[in-house]
Structures are given as structure tokens and as C-alpha cells.
Structure 1
Amino acid sequence: MARVAEHLSVADLEQRFRSCPEPIEARHLQVIWLLAQGHTVGATSKVTSFGPRWIEQSLERYNASGPDALGDGHRHNGPEPRLLTPEVLEVVRLRLAEPPPDGGLWSSRKVADVIAAHLGLERVRPQRGWDALQALSYSLQRPRPKNPKFATAETAEAIKRSWRAPSLPKPRPSPAC
């Protein structure tokens, strides 16, 4: 039988397992909870479909570092943003409230130029401008162009008056039995 360190009680492990919003962390908590209840590594492996060696490694990690050692270790991978920091995004958000310098519409190139000017860089790739627009949930809001053959209000009213609802087919008489 595996020895589980008493970082949390069995009841606390169960409560964390059942209320955990992260599926990976919940499964890891389930493994430790089952072991803390007295289940063997083999029985826990059958219930959770994790390999016995992985269960032993998770138990070692839990015993050494506590519940913080469980969960998805990949979620903190990756570097911190270097260009699109919250400060830069706030500058871009404020600048998007005004029209672009050349008039017209904002494009990823123009946003990249704003980012470059703020950071004191010569140039920033247009993709970073697009990424900033996406991060700010910015969407181009402009109406669709009007159809050049669009009817005037008077013509539309005349069409409405002349329109008749299609008549429904008359029901057939039922055949005599």
C-alpha cells in the first residue's frame, strides 16, 4: 500500500477533486484521493487508466510538494509576451478610438506602426498589429455597400402594394371507400 503524505485530509482531497474546474488537475487529485483511501497502485491504475509507474511518480511529487505539484504542468510554459504587453495593448486600444493618421480605416500595418512608435522600434511586423487587434477583440464595423439598383422608398412601397400572397392549393376530396 502506498503512503500518502497528509498535506490534505481524505475529505479535502475528495472535495477538491469533485469541485476542480481543470480536468487534468481533477484526474490527478482523483489518483491521490484513491491512494489516500487505501487503494493500491494497481487498483488505482485500473480505475483511472493511468499506468502504475505514472501513479507512483505523481504520488512522489505530491508527497514532496503537496497539492500544488498536481495538475497540468504545461499551462505555465511559454515565454511572457515581449511586444504585446498589457501596457502596449492599452496604448493601442486608446489609439484605435481615434481615426488613423491617413484617414481611412485601421489595418494591421497601421496598428503595427503604432506599436513600433510606442516601443521606439523602427518597424514591427504587420502580424503583431493583427495579433493586437485580435487581443483587443477589435472588429471592423462598417456597413455593407448599398446595391446601386436598390429601390427607392416609393418603388418599394409600390411593390409591397402590388404583391399578393400565393393562394394555397385547394384540398382534394377524399376518395370514397
Structure 2
Amino acid sequence: MQLAKHQRRPRLELKNPPHPDNLHALYRDAQDPVERARWHALWLLATGHSIPEVAKTLGYSQRWVRTVVHRYNQGGMEAMTDLRHRNRGKPPLLPPEVQEAFRQALSAPHPRDGLWTIRNAAEWLSERLGRPVDPRRAWSWMKRLGFAPLRPRPRHRGQDPEEGEEFKKNSS
């Protein structure tokens, strides 16, 4: 909608709003947070608050409040519970069956050297997924599944094993 330079936007109002008590009950009973925010906005508008006041109260933009009002006016109460417009995000990197296989693999010793390092985990995931997996991503999945990468205890290259055993005996 194109407006002239000094022309005001037409006032947007709720068409056939239910009683504010009904909107308040819908707002209080909603389990989904997005749906709850929509009902809250409609309830505030039905009780006489302006769009800028509702936006400021709820912490949303005026555009979002206007979108909610438009959706309500076009689709009624069903449009407020319609979640097809929600952004569900990307699917996880690991499908559930690969996650479970990875968990089982991590619980057993690594086939090559017995230790699950981050690099070993990244190679395992790359083989299963058919594409390269960054070691940092493998580390985050290990942590998410409750595992930590294992590293051998550091040893000094020039250490004398006999001297080390003698030290252990004398330090007790």
C-alpha cells in the first residue's frame, strides 16, 4: 500500500473481536509461546490499548502486532493457532538413527587405536554422512551425547622409565 508523503496509515482495528475475558482465557491457557503472544496482543488491543502500546508492552515491533491483527481479521481465531507460518529451523546434522549409532560407537573402544579423539569422531561421522565433518562439529556432538574426547596423559619424551618408577617408590 503506497501512501502519499503526508498521508497517515488507516487505523487498523480488530473485526468482530471476542469478549476480552475470552481472549484473556485463551492467552492464559495457550501452551505454545508464539500462540500465547498472539492472544496476549489481541487481548491488549481488545481492552483499548493502541498498537504502539501493545508492541512496547510485549517487546515486539509494531509491524508484528499489525501482522497479528491482519491474520486475525482475515482468518479469525483459527489463524491464531495455525502454526504453519512458524520457522521450524534446519533439521539436525545427525538424524536420530545416526545419533544412536554414534552413541553406541562412542561407548565402545575405537577400532583403530582404542581412543575416541575428536579427529577419530569426525572421520567416523564423515564416513556415515558421506561428506566431510569438521572436528569442532564432531566435538560438539560428542559433548551433546555426554562424552568427552579422550587423550593419553602427556609424557616427557626424554624421561627415563626406571627413574620414574624410583620416584614413585620414594614419594609414597
CA offsets 1:90-125 (integer angstroms, 9 cap, x no match):
110011111012334211211122222323x37433
Q: Which has the higher contact order (CA 8 A, sep 6+)?
A: 1
Contact 2:142 2:149 in 1 (8 A): no
Alignment-derived partner of residue 69 in structure 2: 59
Larger Rg: 1
CA offsets 1:111-164 (integer angstroms, 9 cap, x no match):
122222323x3743322321321231223589x99x959964xxxxxxxxxxxx
Alignment-derived partner of residue 88 in structure 2: 76
Alignment-derived partner of residue 145 in structure 2: 136
TM-score norm. by structure 1 comes to 0.57
Give the whole-Å Cα distance in 1 for the aligned partners of 2:49 and 2:68. Answer: 14
Give the whole-Å Cα distance in 2 for the aligned partners of 1:115 and 1:47. Answer: 46
Identical residues among aligned pairs (%): 29
Alignment-derived partner of residue 108 in structure 2: 98
TM-score norm. by structure 2 comes to 0.58
Name the CA shift for 1:35/1:118 in 2 (closer, same or farther; >3 Å).
same
Give the whole-Å Cα distance in 1 for the aligned partners of 2:169 and 2:27. Answer: 64
Contact 1:108 1:128 in 2 (8 A): no
Alignment-derived partner of residue 115 in structure 1: 125
Q: Secondary structure at the match of 1:76?
A: coil
Give the whole-Å Cα distance in 1 for the aligned partners of 2:63 and 2:13. Answer: 12
Alignment map for 1:13-24 (pairs within 5 Å): 13-20=23-30
